[in-house]
Chain A
C-alpha cells in the first residue's frame, strides 16, 4: 500500500503542476485586470487545437508556436472586447467572458467538428520510466520540466524586469500607475495576452494527454478556479501550492475513494475557505474591497 501511495503522490504532483500552469494565467489576469475570466478554458482549448494543427502540418516543433499565437489571440480579444468592461460592474466581465467561452467552443466545433481528434506526444517522448513503485511517462516528465521552467521564467519576469514591476504595481493600484505616465492599456493587453499564452501552453502540453475536443475546456477551467480560490485570488505562490495540493488530493482520493475523486478538490476548497476565507495566500486588496 505504501508503494501505491508514493506512486499516486508523484502522479498527483505532475497533474497538479499542469493545473498550476492553467491557474496561474487566470490568477494573473484577475490580479491585474480584476476580470474573472471564464474564457480562460477556451484559450486552453485553442492552444491544444493550434498545437495539434501545427504539429500535423509541420511537425511537433511547429506546435511550440501555438502558445504564442494563443497569446496574440488573447491580446486581440482584450483590445476588441475585454477593455470595454474595465471599471464597470463585475457582472459585465463575467457575462462577457462566459459568452466568449461559449462562442470559442462553438467556433472550434464548427471548424474542427465535435469528434475528438487524435494527438500523440512526440515520438522521442514516448515510453515511461519506472523507479521502484513510481511509474511516470517520459512525456509527463517533460510536462513537469516545461511547466516548472515556465513558472520560474514568468516569476523572474514579474520580479526582475521593469515591465514586470509595472504589472505588479498595476495589480495593486492601476490608477496610480497610469498617473505616473505609464501606458496602462498596453500593459493590460500584455497581461491578458500573457495569461492566454500560459493557458495556450497548458493546452499544448495537455493535448497529447487528454482528449482534444471542443469541450476540453471544461476539464481545465474548474480545477483552475478552485486552485486560484484555494491559493488566494491573484497570488502566484498560492496558485502553485494550491495546484500541487489539488493534484495530490485528487490522486489520493482516486486510490481510496474513486467515486469521490471529482468532489475532492471542492471539499478541500471548502475546508480551506472555512479556515482562511481569503485562501492560503490571499491578501486584502484595497481595489477589490
Chain B
C-alpha cells in the first residue's frame, strides 16, 4: 500500500516537475518579451539600478509603452553605463495608484534603485511622490499633469516634466475663447481631469465665458454616446475635453459616429499623439496642446537624432510620449553623471541645475517647485490626413522665449509649493 502510494506520488511529482519546469521556461521567455528586462539582468554584479514605473495594462498602457521605450533608449544611448559602471532599468507596473506606491516601495527596498522615473497618470505619480519623499530618493514624473504634484504636495525629491493643467489651459484656452463663449466641459473623474475642469472654469469666469455643462466621466468609459447626446442638447460653441489615454480615442470615435465632428469644435490639453492615431483619420478632430511632435522642424538636433534612433529601433515614429520618457530619463541620468555619485541629495541638486536649450527656451526644473519649464505646441488636426503618423498642423509654439516663461508657467508668487529641504 505504501509502495503504491509512493509510486503514485513519484509519478505526480514528475509530471508536476516537468510542467513546472516548462512553466518557468515559458514564463521567463514571456517575461523578457513583455518588457521585464530585470528578470534577465538581475544576476549582473552590482549595477546602478534606475526604477521605472509605467503602466503595462489599462487606458494609458499605449502611452506608457512609448514612455518606457523612450526612457530605455536614453540609457541605451549611453551603452547602459553610468559613472563607469553597468546600469540597468527595472520596470514595474502601475495598475492602480496603490500598486504604484507598493511598486515604488519595492524598487527602493528590494531593488535598491538610485532614482525612479515614471507615473503615467497623476494618481500614480502622487502616490510615488509620497514614497520618495519618505525614502529621500529622486523621482522624475514625465506625464502626470495634476497641479498638486509640483504645487501643494511638492517635495524636494519630486521633479515633473509635464506642465500642469493650469499651464496647458493658459496656452489653449485663448484659442477656445476665439471659437465661442459657451463651453461644455467633459473631464475625467480623477486628479488631472478635475484640474482641467477647475482651470478652464476659472479662465471662463475671468473672461466672460459661460459653462453650459460640465460632466465628470469615469476613467475607462467604453461608451460616451449618452454624454454626447447631453452635449448635443446643450448646444455649446466649444467642447473642452479632459479624458486621458485611449478614452479620448473612444470619445472622438463616437463623437464622429454621432455626427458631431465639424459641428462643434473640440479641444483638449496634454493629449498624446498615439491617442489621435488610434482614432483614425475619418474621426480625428480637434485642437490640442502637445509637448513635442516628431514632425516639428524646430526640434533640436539631439532630439531629431533620438527620433531617428527610435524609429530605426521600433519601426514607427517617436510619439510625444517617447520623447517625454526619453527627456525624463535623460535628466535623471545626466544628473547622476553630473553629481558623480548615486547619493540622492547630490542627484537632486544636479537635477535642480540640469537644463537643455530648446529653441529660444532653456528647459529645466525650477528650484522653487521642481516643475520643468519648457515650450508647448498648440496643434490642430490636418484638414486632410495622408500619412497615418502625421495628423497635426503646428499652430503655435508657446512660450517661445525665456521671457514668456513666467507668463505661461506663472511665477513663485503663484505657486502653492512650500519646498522642503533635503
Contacts and interface: CB of A to CB of B under 8 A. Distances in A.
A255 B226 contact: yes
B57 A215 contact: yes
Nearest to B247: A211
A114 B62 contact: yes
A118 B220 contact: no
Contact of A118 (B33, B34, B279): B279
Contacts of B281: 118
A261 B65 CA distance: 29
B22 interface: no
Nearest to A15: B223
Interface in B42-75: 57-59, 61-62, 64-65
Contacts of A105: 57
B246 A213 contact: yes
Nearest to B229: A7
Interface in A96-117: 105-106, 109-110, 113-117
B274 A137 contact: no
Contacts of B61: 109, 114, 213-215
A114 B65 contact: yes
Interface string A118-154: 1111000001100000010101100000000000000
Interface residues of B, number: 44
B282 A115 contact: no
Interface stretch (B97-105, B175-183, B198-206, B252-260): B252-260
Given A116-B62, A116-B278, A215-B57, A8 B229 contact: yes
Contacts of B247: 211
Given A215-B58, A262-B221, A116 B230 contact: no
Given A8-B229, A210-B250, A254-B230, A117 B278 contact: yes
A128 B215 contact: no
Given A128-B258, A135-B232, A12 B246 contact: no
B282 A116 contact: no
Contact of A209 (B189, B254, B279): B254
Given A109-B34, A250-B226, A115 B189 contact: no
Contacts of B33: 110
A215 B63 CA distance: 13
A189 interface: no
B1 interface: no
A233 to B, nearest CB: 24
Nearest to A12: B226
A81 B221 CA distance: 32
Contacts of B279: 116, 118
Interface string B221-233: 1110111011011
Nearest to B314: A113
A219 interface: yes
Give the interface size bracket for A toward B. 35 or more
B277 A258 contact: no
A13 B257 CA distance: 17
A251 interface: yes
Interface string B26-37: 000010011000
Contact of A11 (B34, B217, B225, B282): B225
B226 A251 contact: yes
Contacts, number: 131
Nearest to A258: B215
Interface in B88-129: none
Nearest to A7: B229
A261 B226 CA distance: 10
B275 interface: yes
Nearest to A3: B233
A218 interface: yes
B249 interface: yes
B220 A219 contact: yes
Nearest to A115: B62
Nearest to B186: A258
A4 B189 CA distance: 23
A258 B243 CA distance: 14
B258 A135 contact: yes
Contact of B280 (A3, A109, A119): A119
B283 interface: yes
B184 to A, nearest CB: 12
Given A116-B246, A209-B254, A258-B227, A4 B233 contact: yes
A209 B278 contact: no
A158 to B, nearest CB: 28
A36 interface: no
Given A110-B34, A120-B280, A255-B230, 18 more contacts: A3-B233, A12-B226, A106-B30, A110-B33, A113-B62, A114-B64, A116-B278, A117-B278, A118-B280, A118-B283, A128-B258, A135-B229, A206-B222, A208-B257, A209-B253, A211-B253, A211-B278, A259-B217
Interface of B: 30, 33-34, 57-59, 61-62, 64-65, 189, 215-218, 220-223, 225-227, 229-230, 232-233, 246-247, 249-250, 253-254, 257-259, 274-275, 277-283
8 contacts: A7-B229, A8-B229, A113-B65, A118-B280, A119-B280, A128-B258, A209-B253, A213-B249
| 10 closest A-B pairs by CB | A118-B280, A116-B278, A219-B222, A262-B218, A254-B226, A115-B62, A258-B215, A114-B62, A114-B65, A259-B216
Interface of A: 3-4, 7-8, 11-12, 15, 105-106, 109-110, 113-121, 127-128, 135, 137, 139-140, 206, 208-216, 218-220, 250-251, 254-255, 258-259, 261-262
